Amino acid sequence: MLSISQQFPAKRAFITGTASGLGRELSLLLAKDGWTIGMCDINENGLQAVKAEVEKQGGQALPYLLDTSNRQQFESVAKDYLAETGGIDLLINNAGVGDGEVFHEYSLDNWDWMVGINQMGVVYGCYFFVPILRKQKSGHIINISSAASFSNAPGMAAYSATKAAVRSLSETLYYELAPLGVKVSVAMPTFFKTNIMKHGKGKMINTARKLVEESGIEADTIAREILAKAAAGKLHIVLPKQARKMFWVARIFPSVFRKQLLKISEKMFKKGIQTKDAKIV
């Protein structure tokens, strides 16, 4: 099997959310193979720090300050990147935020914030690059979703809904672009060590942050597996092993899966999740 770098010798990537976590690790892995990387983030200091790391590893860094929820800004950055590189081989829509709170207490302002970044940020990334991918008849899109896209646990309505939207968008694009030779993958990991919860606003955010910290899975491990499975042509990249088990139980034994989630919901209700954090186990 050819690696992602072997499949695309021009090695032109565009990655959002690169100042830390998964985006940083994906950038560093590609840099070791000499990729030119359009690196985007709202954290300018973090972006510049990762730029230096990418260049040290042998990659070419093209940093862009970008709020992925800003359509006009995203369009401008995409145009600048394409003008610089002449095309794109790998698009990774990675930027995202995590948060949690029971539905009736999560404000509509928070919904707008979550949808703008997690859902529309991915839509914009695809929208502004799909035309050139179609014209080239080559390239690969990797959208970062989450196991929340199929688990839909209580207290995660906004996050799960946006990640399910990313999964659905990816599946549609997979079928639309396959006849043109353009590949699409959607990654659906469970908790791993990253700062996705940094900007969370909901009452359950402390619980979510603890789950991230205690996951024991590093971002670089997730990054390596994503690139390897994308290179193999996988549409659904579900990881780690625990997530794959959840994915298949949810599909094959939905009633069993629902019972597990109902138990979580009952625990949350008994602990008063409406007013304080509750440990989800």
Q: Which two tokens stand for residue 191?
A: 């908790």
In this predicted structure, the answer to whether residue 279 has a pLDDT above a threshold of 60 is no
Catalytic residue among 106, 159, 174, 175: 159
What phi-psi label fits residue 99: left (phi over 0), alpha (psi between -120 and 50 degrees) or beta? beta
Q: 262 lies in a domain?
A: no
Q: What is the pLDDT of residues 251-271, one digit of tens each?
A: 887 887 778 778 776 776 666
Confidence of residue 198 (pLDDT cuts 50, 70, 90): low
Give the range among 52-56, 221-225, 240-244 with minimum mean pLDDT.
240-244
User: Smallest Cα–Cα separation from 81: which of 123, 40, 124, 21?
Assistant: 40
Instruction: Using alpha carbons, list the distances in angstroms from residue 68 to 39, 85, 126, 185, 254.
Output: 12, 20, 12, 20, 34
Whether 260 is in a domain gets the answer: no
What confidence category does residue 274 fall into, taking pLDDT thresholds of 50, 70 and 90?
very low
Query: Per-residue pLDDT tens for 127-185?
Result: 999 999 999 999 999 999 999 999 888 889 999 999 999 999 999 999 999 999 999 99
The pLDDT of residue 6: 98
Q: Which residues are within 8 A (CB) of 236 and not within 5 positions of it... i.e. 6 or more apart?
A: 185, 186, 188, 247
Quote the percentage of the chain above a pLDDT of 90.
70
CB 139 within 8 A of CB 13: no
Would residue 268 count as lying in a domain?
Answer: no
Question: Is residue 207's pLDDT more than 60?
Answer: no
- Whether 159 is catalytic is yes
Least reliable range by pLDDT among 122-131, 164-173, 209-218, 221-230:
209-218
Assign residue 199 the CATH number of its domain: 3.40.50.720
> Is residue 266 assigned to a domain?
no
Residue 275 lies in a domain: no
Q: What is the pLDDT of residue 276?
A: 43
Specify if 77 maps to a domain. Answer: yes
Count the Cβ atoms, other than its own, within 10 Å of residue 71. 16
pLDDT beyond 50 at 197: no
Residue 280 lies in a domain: no
The phi and psi torsions of 223 (rounded to 5 degrees) equal -60, -45
> Where in the sequence is the domain holding 158, given as residue range(s)?
8-254
How many beta carbons lie within 10 A of that of residue 234, not counting itself?
15
pLDDT of the residue at 247: 85
What is the count of structural domains for the chain? Answer: 1
**Does residue 112 fall inside a structural domain?**
yes
pLDDT score for 209: 46
pLDDT tens digits, one per residue of 73-130: 999 999 999 999 999 999 999 999 988 888 999 999 999 999 999 999 999 999 999 9
What is the average pLDDT value for the chain, to the nearest integer? 88
Q: Please give the Cα distance from 170 to 189 (Å, whole number).
A: 15
The whole-model pTM stands at 0.85
Position 258 scores a pLDDT of: 79
